[in-house]
Chain A
């Protein structure tokens, strides 16, 4: 019970002090809208193309929202030493890091529903398999957050975290099948796609929203869960190695 008091309060503090600040709310709203608009205009087609664009926009919104926030909530706190206060608390590191990332996961999930809500007003989404979309959104949010955590604990400065994030994020837009199918990528780049967690999250969304998934849903879920476990484990290892030196 005592540990859950700590967990809840760490998550609550992060939400109040970081995620509910106006710049982050506007980032969470404006960024997905801008992406949706950009790809819609680029496609040059009618409102019916929204359905094919939607999985990519959802995944990008989650990816950018979560990875950006971890640089602040973890790297910044490590830099100003307030993270030491958490490391000194009598709670296991696994629980502590889950508490630190849970705010970002929720932020990612909320971000995902901005383009979904907009799409609901613009097009018919009656064919969407929501029972697959919802867990897919959560899994993409977890995978992106843990990717952000991996980046945040690999660097020591906030600007390094942002730069390092972009090193992963921008190639992922093109390599993860968000807007261009993985099959249409050059043969040499395809293995890279399969090594990125968002590829599998996007595949679930494509399958659930317009029925064009690459892999069976259970396999997608299994692989993305595996990525989450590996990224979280590596991040914990890095914290032990670098911060509890």
Chain B
């Protein structure tokens, strides 16, 4: 895994976003603490972390809605502090909550957003129609935004974010709180935008989503970037290990301790009273494990090999427990 400094200096592709030692404090709380990273032209860059880690504060600073206490931001070579409005011409922003005008129709919302970038009437009408078609909202074009479903609102908000053909699109938690079908459509739209050459800065706390979409990912925890690399490189250390999840009924007391004594080459972790996670640098012998557990009076209901996932990397790197992530997803209405 590369450090922040090495990824900045080693990569030779031109950076569209360059962030250096960015810090933001709110009274006594440091929301973002000396983070540095680059986002390359045409890249889909994931910015991951749990709620309150500093993702939205970072986006707000990158888009001009918040002022850094220290550090610098360059957007396409422009120093943000010196040229905030010139930099805002180059970016599109999709916030974590849809913030269009409830009393305007979808079409009028898009036309209004285009006008904010100085686009002439005929051009903005054509562009609005084109985007409504692309995002599958043509039928609802003249309905008030207030009457849209959550998924439709999110799609129109993304359309509004790209109405002026931005070089960089900031997407803040685009699939949070919407239904599975809409989330899938939005992921497809993001992938299509990326393929068309738009540079995308993407925050989420759905790690599987980032793994599926992003080329490079930064993990932010407690205001600091703790890892930044390509998805493949981040997965590398755990791909060399085997993991298994065993589900049980009637587990014996201190089953993990007994297993650790019997199988010293494996690592055991009890996630819930009825689940044991097994890890090993070598292949895991399922039969021997199952026989041992059943001899302890428990019944194995399921034994499943785990695919190496970015979620595991996240847990290893950040130390955040899996069940905390799960609870967070449930609380925020995770759609994956």
Q: How far is the CA of A179 from the CA of B46 in the complex (A)?
A: 64
- A215 on interface, CB distance cutoff 8 Å: no
Report the number of A-B residue pairs with Cβ-Cβ less than 8 Å: 69
Distance between A62 CB and nearest chain B CB, rounded to angstroms: 25
B60's nearest neighbour on chain A, judged by CB, is A245
A2's nearest neighbour on chain B, judged by CB, is B118
Q: How far is the CA of A85 from the CA of B145 in the complex (A)?
A: 15
- B80 on interface, CB distance cutoff 8 Å: no
> 7 A-B residue contacts at CB 8 Å?
A9-B112, A17-B101, A84-B95, A87-B64, A88-B63, A88-B64, A244-B67
Which of A51-59, A89-97, A164-172 interfaces with chain B?
A: A89-97
- B301 on interface, CB distance cutoff 8 Å: no
Q: Determine whether the beta carbon of A90 is less than 8 Å from that of B101.
A: no
- A81 on interface, CB distance cutoff 8 Å: yes
Distance between A243 CB and nearest chain B CB, rounded to angstroms: 8
A92 to chain B: which residues have CB within 8 Å?
85
Q: Determine whether the beta carbon of B67 is less than 8 Å from that of A85.
A: no
Q: Determine whether the beta carbon of A90 is less than 8 Å from that of B89.
A: yes
- A3 on interface, CB distance cutoff 8 Å: yes
With A81-B95, A84-B65 known as contacts, the answer to whether A89 contacts B101 (CB < 8 A) is no
With A90-B86, A90-B89 known as contacts, the answer to whether A85 contacts B99 (CB < 8 A) is yes
Q: Determine whether the beta carbon of A244 is less than 8 Å from that of B64.
A: yes
- A1 on interface, CB distance cutoff 8 Å: yes
Distance between B273 CB and nearest chain A CB, rounded to angstroms: 43
Q: Determine whether the beta carbon of B99 is less than 8 Å from that of A6.
A: no
B160 to chain A: which residues have CB within 8 Å?
85
A82 to chain B: which residues have CB within 8 Å?
99-101
- A5 on interface, CB distance cutoff 8 Å: yes
The contact of A1 among B86, B101, B118, by CB within 8 Å, is: B118
- A86 on interface, CB distance cutoff 8 Å: yes
Within 8 A of B (CB), among A46-90: 80-82, 84-90
With A80-B102, A81-B97, A88-B64 known as contacts, the answer to whether A6 contacts B115 (CB < 8 A) is yes
Query: Taking chain A's interface residues, is the majority helix, strand, or loop, or is none over half, making it mixed?
Result: helix
A80 to chain B: which residues have CB within 8 Å?
99, 102
In the A-B complex, list the 9 residue pairs whose CB atoms are closest, starting with the nearest: A2-B118, A9-B115, A89-B116, A81-B99, A90-B88, A90-B89, A90-B85, A5-B118, A6-B116
Q: How far is the CA of A10 from the CA of B99 in the complex (A)?
A: 16
Q: How far is the CA of A13 from the CA of B100 in the complex (A)?
A: 13
Query: Taking chain B's interface residues, is the majority helix, strand, or loop, or is none over half, making it mixed?
Result: loop
Q: How far is the CA of A17 from the CA of B63 in the complex (A)?
A: 27
The contact of B101 among A13, A87, A245, by CB within 8 Å, is: A13
B65 to chain A: which residues have CB within 8 Å?
84, 87-88, 244
The contact of A6 among B102, B103, B117, by CB within 8 Å, is: B117
B26's nearest neighbour on chain A, judged by CB, is A245
B112 to chain A: which residues have CB within 8 Å?
9, 13
Seed contacts A17-B104, A89-B88, A244-B67; 10 additional CB < 8 Å A-B pairs: A2-B117, A6-B115, A9-B112, A80-B102, A82-B99, A82-B101, A84-B95, A90-B85, A90-B89, A90-B117
With A84-B95, A85-B113, A90-B85 known as contacts, the answer to whether A3 contacts B118 (CB < 8 A) is yes
- B93 on interface, CB distance cutoff 8 Å: yes
A88's nearest neighbour on chain B, judged by CB, is B93
A245 to chain B: which residues have CB within 8 Å?
26, 66-67
B97 to chain A: which residues have CB within 8 Å?
81
- B191 on interface, CB distance cutoff 8 Å: no
- B119 on interface, CB distance cutoff 8 Å: yes
B104's nearest neighbour on chain A, judged by CB, is A17
A13 to chain B: which residues have CB within 8 Å?
101, 104, 112
* Cβ contacts A159-201/B at 8 Å (1 or 0 each): 0000000000000000000000000000000000000000000
The contact of B99 among A8, A84, A90, by CB within 8 Å, is: A84
B120's nearest neighbour on chain A, judged by CB, is A5
Within 8 A of A (CB), among B112-147: 112-113, 115-120
Q: How far is the CA of A234 from the CA of B117 in the complex (A)?
A: 27
Q: Determine whether the beta carbon of A89 is less than 8 Å from that of B117.
A: yes
Q: Determine whether the beta carbon of B67 is less than 8 Å from that of A91.
A: no
B67's nearest neighbour on chain A, judged by CB, is A244
B103 to chain A: which residues have CB within 8 Å?
17
Interface centre among A8, A9, A90 (most CB of B within 10 A): A90
Q: How far is the CA of A92 from the CA of B93 in the complex (A)?
A: 18
A9's nearest neighbour on chain B, judged by CB, is B115
Distance between B66 CB and nearest chain A CB, rounded to angstroms: 6
Within 8 A of A (CB), among B263-294: none
Q: How far is the CA of A87 from the CA of B65 in the complex (A)?
A: 7
Distance between A73 CB and nearest chain B CB, rounded to angstroms: 11
Within 8 A of A (CB), among B44-87: 63-67, 85-86
